[in-house]
Chains A and B, each alone.
Chain A
């Protein structure tokens, strides 16, 4: 039995509200222009390395005003692991195989140890890192994931989705013009009506461009027909929400932001409005 969760209705309502009508001709035109901008980006920088543009890269670059910023190399920690574990937990809760976030996280952490112990080929870097921790270390990682997943689990009315949402599947668009350019659209919860993106850090000018990237990737993906749903950014720390409706200008903003990040100038021509 699933934990009965009374939810903050507002976030669900924002996510699932009827979409605004979009001028399909203008949308199609903006999408064509976005493809053209991205094709130019790939051609101009081909040979200079692979550009896998994510919302994080975009945020860092735009915040620093000068292209991809120098960053610390990635390392697993309670903070960097909490989203992966938390999403697995919310998936387990949504399909009813776990009764609470704590139970779901515990099961996922235990699964890591089993995968590593059994030499399962599906084992990931996260699994190996978790399995190598002392029990107290694993407990600390689990605690961070429980908090992360509890916040997301309690934030939405899961029964309000007509079709079960997709939880935590990043989507990629690989440029057909260059194998060197790929864009990632990150959303924690995806439905036909909208995509929910969990945000952290302060509210910032770049957030609209970060969310535009999600819309851009959705629109560019092969086989995607029509206009994607809105993107809702949500800061669990503050409860604040920012909503971007799918509209032609968003495609332009996203493509320009990617272009400028890759080019290293870092300042989008149209800053977050």
Chain B
């Protein structure tokens, strides 16, 4: 089981990387792109078997009456602002972090799709309105803000938007950029479901090769956790298609920091080990029908 990957290229730009950062992100994503890494075709099957074993253990521990357990990076890894996304507040209403994250991610999708922004908060709000009831709570929350609170949110969104404008590269449509690509991997006959959402996938799927790049936007979670969320998504893609993305980029919209790294087999194995341990430990037993 060997994932043949190019050299590790984890790099972090200094805080507040300005114009041109997007170009460097793109250059890092494309570096060595002419030769896509091949990987052991047994890798995905081995990881699946490992997680299936753990899932059946968890299902047995939870009992026959328990509903499907839907698990995302927030639940499994405790991530807050990035690929896993922040959660609701204690009162069940959208937290400030959630609202900010949803608006910033909408802006990210707009930048990928059309490459420009107008008024960041207005654009984000219009995008969320177009999502309908899926984003209804967040839209209503923003619309109900007082003038000063809305101005504060607008300032915060503008800061994130400024960094995104610098960080998000212009992607040729021929690279097939697609945003919000949901992955959902059923285990134990669907009684455990691992799910996550790629903020952005780039590239043409190819049988037997790791041919995709993935990009995530973090609005404020601790960097190591957000990075692990991307490793989790890489694991899900491996389980879904048989091959992981070959390279990952993480953009931190609050600071303008970013990093790009190759996916290596040890990332996938470490994440599978973590998920298996979570399922085999208390997590799987205590969670009934929860998601996140």
Contact = CB atoms under 8 A, between A and B. Distances in A.
A72 B133 CA distance: 10
Contact of A5 (B177, B190, B193, B204): B204
Given A102-B173, A136-B124, A137-B126, A147 B180 contact: yes
B130 A133 contact: yes
A5 B207 CA distance: 11
B186 A238 contact: yes
B146 interface: no
Interface in A1-41: 3-10
Contact of A140 (B109, B133, B183, B207): B109
A144 interface: yes
Interface stretch (A74-82, A181-189, A248-256, A265-273): A74-82
Contacts, number: 129
A202 B176 contact: no
Q: Which residue, B130, B133, B182, has most C-beta atoms of chain A within 10 A?
A: B130
B122 interface: yes
A243 interface: no
A134 B126 contact: yes
B247 to A, nearest CB: 18
Interface stretch (B4-12, B110-118, B253-261, B276-284): B110-118
A238 B130 contact: no
A6 B36 CA distance: 13
A99 B174 contact: yes
Interface in A90-122: 99-103
A259 B287 CA distance: 38
A239 interface: yes
B127 interface: yes
B105 to A, nearest CB: 10
Interface string A133-145: 1111111111110
A140 B110 CA distance: 6
Contacts of A202: 68, 184, 186, 190, 193
B149 interface: no
Interface of A: 3-10, 72, 75-80, 99-103, 133-144, 146-147, 150-151, 154, 202-203, 235, 237-240
Given A6-B206, A139-B109, A202-B68, 16 more contacts: A75-B132, A76-B132, A78-B130, A79-B131, A79-B134, A101-B176, A101-B178, A136-B110, A136-B123, A140-B127, A143-B179, A146-B177, A147-B178, A147-B179, A147-B180, A147-B181
Interface of B: 68, 106, 109-110, 112-114, 118, 122-124, 126-134, 173-174, 176-186, 190, 193, 195, 204-207, 211, 240-241
9 contacts: A77-B131, A78-B134, A101-B173, A137-B129, A140-B126, A146-B177, A151-B178, A202-B190, A238-B186
